[in-house]
Structure 1
Amino acid sequence: MSNPSTTPARTKKRNLAIGSGVVAAALLFGWFSYSATKPEATASGPSSSDAVAEVSPAPQDDTYAQLAKLARRDAKDPLAQGRADAPVVLIEYADFRCGFCGKFARDTEPDLVKKYVDAGKLRIEWRNFPIFGEESEAAARGAWAAGQQGKFWEFHAAAYEEGAKEKGFGDDRLKALARQAGVADVDCFVRDVASEDARKAVSRDQEEAYGLGATSTPSFLINGRPIAGAQPAETFTQAIDAALATAAGGAK
């Protein structure tokens, strides 16, 4: 799990309020961040039982219900995959320069897509959360721009390939990633990357994450339950299965 140095501007953003559940969410994310990085966890990596505990604290049903409302469920959202009415929504706040985000994208997410998204049980909604400087911001705008041509997830895959982040996210590199992703109109892509719409879209996602108290990447919400860091795959499958069971119970 990665986190940047703190700046006054970022500190101000972290104090943004987006609802009555924000204070509780900030405490939850802070606790999960500590749990994911405490010495006994980093020494050998969190065990599956530890990881499950990190998403199963004392009941916070009201908070989780409020945070679950952050799911946009927009069927036309190019930065999402899965049915808009899926019973479970996983929101991911991530940075393309984050190595742990890349690990999740390569090692865990594809299996979640096969097991849950393709079955109509899970929706994944991406939130750009650039926290590592100008190239993070540029990559986030590039991802958004690729999405305007229906190629967000292809860009996402290209940007998270092993060794991709080491090549940087300068202007030429973004164009190369767009071509690799199959973006049809690269000139339009370049204009979109530099557009005010791109900046506003990225800022919206970023401020949402800071408002929740997230200070590191990747951070997740699964039907409102926070998970911090690229936890073992079992953490996600068990959290999704629990959310599915809860959703099924509520539907009876």
Structure 2
Amino acid sequence: MYYKDLNLYDFFIAVMEPDSDDKLPSFFLNDSKNDQESLDAQKRINKTESNETLSDIHTTKVVRSTNRIHLPSLAIGAGIAVACIFCGMLMVNMINSETTPVLAETPQKQTEITKIQSLSVFTDNASPILGNPNAPITMVEFGDYQCTFCSKFFHETENLIITNYVKTGKVKILFKDYIILGQDSMNAANAAHCANDQKSFWKYHSMLYNNWAGEDTGWADLAHLHEFANTLGLDMDVFSTCMSDLKWNELVNLSSIDGQKLGVSGTPTFFVIDQNNDVIKIVGAQHYDVFKQIFDSVLDE
């Protein structure tokens, strides 16, 4: 994950009451005084469902080596073996402790209640809804298409969330742009919204991450962005005009400003919102088990 000043496992929860007259708390604000001046058409949320299947490919290679033991050194070898077994036991304990995110990373509710007037900062300037618009849980992701850990989340975790929670009507997802890696990221974000003009946001979103090839390596330049659109069968005249007009750049910039107001300083950052407007902030490409525990906890309330 990319940070300015956040720890990878930093979580917090703000319990929100939308009818209050209180203003956003300090951690939801930045020094920017830019108002959201986008047109209503730019701030709309298209309440559409998607049955797209996202790819999730992960290959791990295990390399093993064999060492010979010289007979005259057998006694010494036996002593070393005992020491290795002892060290191995210690390492197993360490690995177990590091791969148990449910115990180490589970956020606890704060007793202090934070109140805001609306959830528009989460839902304006966003993608169409992926999933059932009436799902009891909303997950908002702030991401950058060139971000390494955003790609990691897409390939290792997102498809599991879609399969187990989105397709079952429990969670709906919104994606919001938070540009941190330059012009190609900006162009890729604009391209996804241009694809949305042809009702293909999530297909294009998936196309981008399925073709991810690092940061600033040229995979998201204008030529490739047009190639992705053509591969999806989009109307290229409409798409090219949208891109050359920078049609959705203002929306992308406003989305980044929304992230700054919410204290986002790295990608990916997630906000999980329940029907009571309780909000859980998740920072980083966390393991699926972290999301699962949070979703299940909210659904059990």
| TM-score of the alignment, normalized to the shorter chain, above 0.5 | yes
Tell whether the 8 Å contact from 2:177 to 2:189 is kept in structure 1 after alignment. yes
Tell whether the 8 Å contact from 2:146 to 2:212 is kept in structure 1 after alignment. no
Deviations, residues 21-57 of structure 1 (Å, cap 9, x unaligned): 3424469xxxxxxxxxxxxxxxx9664135533x325
Structure 1 residue aligned with 2:142: 93
* Cα separation, 2, equivalents of 1:107 and 1:66: 35
Which structure: larger Rg? 2
Question: Is residue 228 from structure 1 mapped to residue 283 from structure 2 by the alignment?
Answer: yes
Unaligned runs of 5+ in 2: 6-21, 31-96, 274-278
Distance verdict in 2 for CA 1:239–1:26, change over 3 Å: farther
Tell whether the 8 Å contact from 1:4 to 1:131 is kept in structure 2 after alignment. no
Structure 2 residue aligned with 1:213: 263
How many residue pairs get aligned? The number is 212
Q: Give, as a single letter, the amino acid of the residue that structure 2 aligns with 1:139.
A: A
Structure 1 residue aligned with 2:206: 157
> Alignment partner for residue 62 of structure 1, among 86, 109, 114?
114
* Cα separation, 1, equivalents of 2:196 and 2:246: 15
Task: Give the secondary structure class of the aligned counterpart of 2:297.
Answer: helix
Q: Give, as a single letter, the amino acid of the residue that structure 1 aligns with 2:102.
A: S
Task: Give the secondary structure class of the aligned counterpart of 1:85.
Answer: coil
Structure 2 residue aligned with 1:173: 224
TM normalised by structure 2 equals 0.63
Tell whether the 8 Å contact from 1:155 to 1:177 is kept in structure 2 after alignment. yes
Unaligned runs of 5+ in 1: 6-18, 28-43, 247-252
Tell me how far 1:162 sits from its aligned partner.
Answer: 5.8
Structure 2 residue aligned with 1:80: 129
Question: Is residue 199 from structure 1 mapped to residue 249 from structure 2 by the alignment?
Answer: yes
* Cα separation, 1, equivalents of 2:143 and 2:207: 15
* Cα separation, 1, equivalents of 2:137 and 2:124: 11
Tell me how far 1:240 sits from its aligned partner.
Answer: 1.3
Task: Give the secondary structure class of the aligned counterpart of 1:160.
Answer: helix
Q: Give, as a single letter, the amino acid of the residue that structure 2 aligns with 1:209.
A: G
Structure 2 residue aligned with 1:145: 194
Q: Give, as a single letter, the amino acid of the residue that structure 2 aligns with 1:116.
A: Y
Tell me how far 1:111 sits from its aligned partner.
Answer: 0.9
* Cα separation, 1, equivalents of 2:187 and 2:119: 29
Question: Is residue 21 from structure 1 mapped to residue 24 from structure 2 by the alignment?
Answer: yes
Tell whether the 8 Å contact from 2:142 to 2:177 is kept in structure 1 after alignment. yes
Tell me how far 1:118 sits from its aligned partner.
Answer: 0.8
TM normalised by structure 1 equals 0.74
Q: Give, as a single letter, the amino acid of the residue that structure 1 aligns with 2:158.
A: E
**Higher helix fraction (1 or 2):** 1
Tell me how far 1:61 sits from its aligned partner.
Answer: 4.5
Distance verdict in 2 for CA 1:206–1:158, change over 3 Å: same
Deviations, residues 190-239 of structure 1 (Å, cap 9, x unaligned): 22123354011111211100111111000000012100000111111111
Deviations, residues 122-150 of structure 1 (Å, cap 9, x unaligned): 10001011111111111111111111111
Tell whether the 8 Å contact from 1:92 to 1:219 is kept in structure 2 after alignment. yes
Tell whether the 8 Å contact from 2:190 to 2:246 is kept in structure 1 after alignment. no
Tell me how far 1:66 sits from its aligned partner.
Answer: 6.3
Distance verdict in 2 for CA 1:215–1:161, change over 3 Å: same
* Cα separation, 2, equivalents of 1:82 and 1:72: 15
* Cα separation, 2, equivalents of 1:78 and 1:24: 24
Task: Give the secondary structure class of the aligned counterpart of 1:227.
Answer: strand
